[in-house]
A and B are shown apart, each in its own frame.
Chain A
Amino acid sequence: MDKQMTETLEAIYSRCVANEDNIITVLQEIQHEFGYIQEEAVNWFSARTNIPPSKYYGVITFYSQFHQKPRGKNIVTVCCGTVCHVKGAPRIISKVREDLKLKDDQDTTRDMAFTLEHVNCVGACSIAPVVLVNEKVFGKQTPSKIVNNLKAYKDKP
């Protein structure tokens, strides 16, 4: 593990000890810093905190927020709440998959530009169906609208 990573982890450790944080917060911070959770970061923390890695791993795989693989530059999140569902979220997902050329169980494009995810509900049901691209909320989407909206993110270098 390189020095910079150790320093980042050490900083997270000190912060979390000061705030009396738990494993979940620690992992949230690790993911915030590195984009995803690497095994070596967990092993480092496990040794530092004397908590077995199995505890960390259990938490990582339990909560859908945590990722063990690097994700794309842009995160496309399709809301799959009830209202979005009855208003066509499944069709939006298949269109986006097609548009981003995602195969079978693949969620991230090969060039690492996009990752497609879904969320249970963002609570913006009045403007369903909803798609988030990174932090931006796009309401009242259709398969063709979202493809259009994604264009802007593709052109960026």
Chain B
Amino acid sequence: MINLTIDDKQIEVAEGATVLEAARKLNIDIPTLCHDPRLKPYGACRLCIVEIGGMAKPVTSCTTPATNGMVVKTNTAKLYRLRKTTVELLLSDHPNDCMTCIGTGDCKLQELAYAYGIRENRFQGAMRDHNRVDVNPFITREQNKCVMCGLCVRVCEEVQGVGAIGYAERGFEAKVIPPFGHDLKCEFCGQCVSVCPTGALSGRLWSGKPRMAGVKFTDTTCTYCGCGCNITLRSTGDQVIRIDSKPDSHNRGWLCVKGRFGFEFINSADRLTTPLIRRQKGGEFEQATWDEAYDYVAKRLSEIKDKHGADALGGLCSARCTNEENYLFQKMFRARIGTNNVDHCARY
């Protein structure tokens, strides 16, 4: 174990931990923009800089390994000044359109501008013009809002293993784009969207929908497959308007294209709203209440069991149900009906 001092407080961390991790363990707030504990440290935004005894210049806490006896200061006047300059510089190359930006309320840059009280910017000058409209139903890219934190590039490579986007050019003109500047052509998992700290990447489906005001957050489980990713639905009224996932979930906040963007069916007018019963082969579906449906199913199952025995019945459940639902389903077959003929696409 490693012992170090941060802002006059002692902390013990495991070998290999970074100074930032140690500070977070002490609940010390250090601002970051390009950091995500799920990805390799990058050290580009220079906001998490700290002063370490014996080192001539401030270093980024997200990349610096903690060592024994290290004395760290995270909140000096000098660091405040440097961080503020960095935020001002970012804002000097950022469209000042928070009013209409989809990221508002959920934007790290906006929070930083607020935290450092940047009403007027000392720096003005040329701004990048990289916005291009590309054709896809899932992801909107507003490159002018990109802060080059590299999270999207890293998640695409490190987590998704795809590398659909990368850095291009250098210096002030550096940007994140698909190769040769083509339209985005990938599996549209939207992991990049989920890590983007600003409004540079957003879901196309979110557009025009409420951002924060009046939005209800509901934690639930994705029903698409057996992974059962934890998701958070954002909804207003009876409309689901966005899906994302929290980094501390078992799926670490990662989702696939279906889980993240395939939610329009929820509000579809074509969806069934009541059970339908077909009473005989070739007959029509008849609308029913839930009680009618349950009664009918119980009645028919009992009849078959009485007439042909329990093993004449079999049950198939789905990975799209939760663990609890699947448990209950097999319990019903094994304990109540009395057969082991029960299965499910991801197997019991």
Show the binding face of A for B, using Cβ within 8 Å.
39, 42, 51-58, 61-62
Contacts and interface: CB of A to CB of B under 8 A. Distances in A.
Nearest to B173: A61
B168 A61 contact: yes
13 contacts: A42-B179, A52-B164, A53-B179, A54-B164, A54-B166, A55-B166, A56-B179, A57-B168, A57-B179, A57-B180, A61-B168, A61-B169, A62-B169
B167 interface: yes
A52 B163 contact: yes
Nearest to B162: A52
Interface of B: 162-170, 178-180
A54 B169 contact: no
Contacts of A52: 162-164, 166, 179
B132 to A, nearest CB: 15
A61 B178 contact: no
Nearest to B169: A61
A44 B40 CA distance: 30
B91 to A, nearest CB: 26
Nearest to A46: B179
Contacts, number: 34
Contacts of B166: 52, 54-55, 57-58
Contacts of B178: 54
Name, among B162, B164, B180, the residue most crowded by chain A CB atoms within 10 Å (CB to CB): B180
Contacts of B164: 52, 54
Nearest to B178: A54
Contacts of A58: 166-168
A39 B178 CA distance: 13
B170 A55 contact: no
Nearest to B175: A61
Name, among B164, B179, B180, the residue most crowded by chain A CB atoms within 10 Å (CB to CB): B179
B141 to A, nearest CB: 14
A55 B165 CA distance: 9
Nearest to B168: A61
B160 to A, nearest CB: 11
Contacts of B180: 39, 42, 53, 57
Nearest to B165: A54
A99 B171 CA distance: 31
A54 to B, nearest CB: 3
Contacts of A42: 179-180
